[in-house]
Structure 1
Amino acid sequence: MMKNNHMATQRIYNQQIYNPQFSAPEDVVKHMVAMQAQDYAGAKWAIALRTHNVSEDAIEQAITNGKILRTHLLRPTWHFISPQDIRWILALTAPRINAINAAMNKKFELTDHVFAKSNAVLVKALAGNKQLTRLELVNVFEQAGIASDELRFTLLLMKAELDQVICSGGRVGKQFTYALLDDRAPITPVLTQEEALAKLALGYFNSRGPATLHDFANWSGLTVTDAGIGLEQVKSQLISHVIEGRTYWMPNSMADTLSQKTKAYLLPAFDEFAIAYKDRDALINPQYLKQARHVIFDPAIVVDNQVVGTWKRTIKTKSVDVHLNLFGPLNKTQEKAVEAAVSQYRKFLFLK
């Protein structure tokens, strides 16, 4: 029977955190299908953890060049996504997100007519490969007579994302921009709903298995019924194990976990290692379940594939301080692994 630690080890491997196989940041995002990214700095580090020797500047450049896009995609929240995958996933998930947003849209009197007008205004303002900041788009809306207080403005932009009108552009300094999706992503074949469900399910279980159907539904924001339709179509390409009455699905090639040496990782908040599962107990050293109850929201220290503490950073002019909050003692080998993880993070930032 697969124990919790073994399950976490398989997840670390399939998520490309242990022994990353990719050199290009965009290949990591493609493998992961979608990566939660509302904490922008942390999400870039999440990509780096899964990439062989890549800098923050290289990831930023991939985003600027449109090799990685950022948009509201699942549940809904910000995600990094491949330009090749953004359209079919939006086509699958947008109807459910629109339903979730319906009450808020009604509260702010955002009707289909208003959204049609705002989308048309965005198309005109961003035409010709333009990329505009949020402040610039507020001015665009105001000039068009569209009220855009902060929350209303956010809803207008999210609807345009879900309607495949806009997505992220490159940053201007520290300011985020928006661009037309047609300028940043290729036109891709339209999938039927069943095809899209199957493709999303296979991508999820290959990159995050072992996981359950409910894990997949929770991560994707799909109903359990729709998630089950997707899983049913790809079961033949996966393997499964029943643990304590729950069926876990995973890639059909299992990782050789016996050869893994003690390693440590500094995971950002909202990392897919935590966020991708409804039940997260397998990720946490059993003696620290109480301390790690906020494992999704806190940057986590992982040793031997289990969460054993939290960490935070303080950026200085030419350096970064990393503050560790360990839940309990480590042995010398584990301490050295944590030191290596801190060094890896400093290297990523090009700071000593």
Structure 2
Amino acid sequence: MRSSPTRPTEPQMDAAQIRLHRLRSHLLVEPAATVPDVARRLFAVQAQDFAAGRWALGIRTSGGPAVGDVDRAFDAGLLVRAWTQRGTLHIVEPGSVGAILDVTGERQTRAYGIDPGVLDRGERVFRSALAAEAPLTRAAFVDALQRDGVAGSVAAGTRILTALSIRGVLALGPVVPRDEGVAREQYLVALPPRGPAGDDPAVDLLVAYLRGHGPATGADFAWWAGLPAGQARGAAGRAGDRVVALDGELLDVPEEPTTAVPDPALPGTIALPAFDEYVLSYADRSIGMGAGDRMNVGPTANGMVRPVILRGGVAVGTWSLSLAVGSSGIPAATLFDGESDAGVGDALARVGGFFGRQ
């Protein structure tokens, strides 16, 4: 994409500079002070896998938080998990959900194809059940939908639940306590009323994406937000001086540094979770993938994106950790051919400590 006449331009960036700047944008060089600060910076953190989404927040927060510290942000109402884009769950600040759905909601709602009247009835059931049964689990709400004749099956009720999240009605909030192992379920909460949309919600979303992911292209933004390419290009074209044009089609926000010399000692070796934003959030993933590809990282045919070992901003292997009760609880790494295991043990120990598996 060529820069508009009113758009600032910056010097060209090579792959190493892009990589370093993305690491900074993603808070992988300088972590945030608090867990909600991470969600605010990245704006929407992929979290279909709840454990992975919590580690994505934990690794970007200073002070070495544990999974319980992240859960307390949900319990306090500072974070929710909602179907904001691409038909998948993301961790978002409650007040930001509407800003994303202003851009992505209509397209997602069409994809679900549920009659608006059914959703109206489903919303009434939700608000009634929440008032009567709070805290309200997903299973209890789906049961209520079936009892009231809104859904004919568990599967239909689950689809209505998701569509109501896309409508901006509900989200997943406080974590359901669990006696053993890492908690996986969340109670349903009502989302706050959606505030008035800005003058150009798509441009606002583009700027928010670049602040936590840049530099990136319009095609990257389209993939992350689940938008048609033309809609994303239009937002980039209207952004004016709210973004800067870099080498080729790369865009970024002007207040972020774009010409820093990479420091090869940063950020060292770290273990990113499955579906991490640093790996997943670009149409072209070559900058951070290194020797990794769809065969060993993903997205695979079933959509899986494996956890990766990252060194200097490049994937050098994958790792795994079972959180099932009775499992060994010991993370294990598989490095790509020719890669050193330097720092891998410490990186995996950090994961184990977060989940209380040491």
Deviations 1:273-308 (A, max 9, x none): 1221001111122x5547545166111111111111
Q: Paired residue for 2:241? A: 236
Q: Paired residue for 1:75? A: 86
Distance 1:292 1:247, change over 3 A: farther
**How many residues in Structure 1 have an aligned counterpart in Structure 2?**
332
Checking the alignment, whether the CA contact within 8 Å between 1:284 and 1:292 is kept in structure 2 is no
After superposition, residues 60-71 of structure 1 pair within 5 angstroms as 60-71=71-82
After superposition, residues 1-352 of structure 1 pair within 5 angstroms as 1-20=12-31, 22-53=32-63, 54-102=65-113, 105=114, 111-127=115-131, 130-173=134-177, 174=183, 175-181=185-191, 185=192, 187=193, 189-192=195-198, 194-242=199-247, 246-252=248-254, 253-254=257-258, 256-262=260-266, 263-285=268-290, 287-289=291-293, 291-292=295-296, 294=298, 297-315=305-323, 320-331=329-340, 335-352=341-358
Deviations 1:31-53 (A, max 9, x none): 11111110000010001111112
Checking the alignment, whether the CA contact within 8 Å between 1:10 and 1:257 is kept in structure 2 is no
- AA aligned opposite 1:275: L
How far 1:314 sits from its partner (Å)?
Answer: 3.3
Greater helix fraction, Structure 1 or Structure 2 = 1
Equivalent residue of 1:202, what SS? helix
- AA aligned opposite 1:250: D
- AA aligned opposite 2:167: D
Distance 1:79 1:329 in 2: 35
Deviations 1:127-180 (A, max 9, x none): 279231122113212221233423211211122112222111312224322122
Checking the alignment, whether the CA contact within 8 Å between 2:168 and 2:194 is kept in structure 1 is no
- AA aligned opposite 1:276: S
How far 1:119 sits from its partner (Å)?
Answer: 1.3
TM, length-normalised to structure 1: 0.87
Distance 1:3 1:148, change over 3 A: farther
Checking the alignment, whether the CA contact within 8 Å between 1:64 and 1:169 is kept in structure 2 is yes
Structure of greater relative contact order (alpha carbons < 8 Å, 6+ residues apart): 2
TM, length-normalised to structure 2: 0.85
How far 1:318 sits from its partner (Å)?
Answer: 10
Checking the alignment, whether the CA contact within 8 Å between 2:332 and 2:348 is kept in structure 1 is no
**Structure 1 unpaired stretches of 5+:** 106-110
How far 1:248 sits from its partner (Å)?
Answer: 0.6
How far 1:319 sits from its partner (Å)?
Answer: 6.9
